[in-house]
Amino acid sequence: MPLLALRLEVEAAAAEALSDALLEAGAQSVSIESPDAPRSVLSALFAASGDPATSLRRALESCGQANLRYTVETVPDDDWVRRSQSQFTPIVLERLWIGASWHQPPPDAQLVVRIDPGLAFGTGSHPTTKLVLRFLERTVHGGERILDYGCGSGVLAIAAAKLGAWQVAAVDIDPQAVSVTHENSRANQVAVAACLPEALPPGRYDVIVANILAQPLIDLAPTLSARAEQGTRLALAGILEAQAADVAAAYAARFEMNVAERDAGWALLTGTAR
């Protein structure tokens, strides 16, 4: 089926936040062209039955931005796939190599994760995703119980399983993300239990990660805190540096919080449960 591609120009400093907001508002995929230029072009993909204009309005409101001029065009599936393939390059970390099915990992790659750009957000290339992936590399050494809340494509959950986690649960409010996470975990030959929030069984975790946006993370503080026990490690991303203090305050009653790392204006908050 043909898809709808929304394109607009935005100040480069605001591109990442608006990209995430568009994904939250219903976009299936968002790419940023010329991210190092003063102004960037966002291309957001929507289903043929979607409403790009309404999604853009909601995204702009959530980012506190004024209305921007935009265009919407119909794009054949195969054209979008070729465009995605040309923009997605492998991610090389200390232990993890993350690439698509058409990439060839180097012979010395320790742990290979394959995630194709698709209908759920998360290939590993976004700065917020890389922040959490680096946290997982530092934290997961084998045998841990992991919860990935807001799993998207499942890249974080799959990476945790590859790193040796014993039990991995992945949660998303989007049924499509749950389905994609199941497919990607099978393709990577790891066990990940993906489900909607209401289907998550009772239990606590050694490590909890959530890469969403600042306000949803604040709203989720009671939910994620209830899944922790003493010593549980927490990592939160999708947070602009200016938002870090507010998000940290929402978790301070249960976790010792700090800004562990920064990347391109984004902050990684980490904490240890009391």
Digit-coded pLDDT (tens) for 127-171: 888 999 999 999 999 999 999 999 988 999 999 999 999 999 999
What's this model's pTM, rounded to 2 decimal places?
A: 0.73
Site of tokens 């490590």: 207
The pair of three-digit structure tokens given for residue 52, joined into one six-digit string: 């790009």
Domains of the chain by residue range: 3-82, 120-273
How many whole angstroms separate alpha carbon 80 and alpha carbon 45? Answer: 8
For the domain made up of 3-82, the CATH class stated in words is alpha beta
Q: pLDDT tier at 1 (50, 70, 90 boundaries)?
A: low
How many whole angstroms separate alpha carbon 137 and alpha carbon 140? Answer: 6
**CB neighbour list of residue 158: distance below 8 Å, 6 or more residues apart:** 113, 115, 181, 184, 185, 188, 190, 192
Q: pLDDT tier at 32 (50, 70, 90 boundaries)?
A: confident
Site of tokens 């993350």: 98
The pair of three-digit structure tokens given for residue 33, joined into one six-digit string: 């062209």
Domain 120-273, CATH homologous superfamily name and number? Vaccinia Virus protein VP39 (3.40.50.150)
How many whole angstroms separate alpha carbon 228 and alpha carbon 234? Answer: 9
DSSP state for residue 241 in the 8-state scheme: G
SS3 210: strand
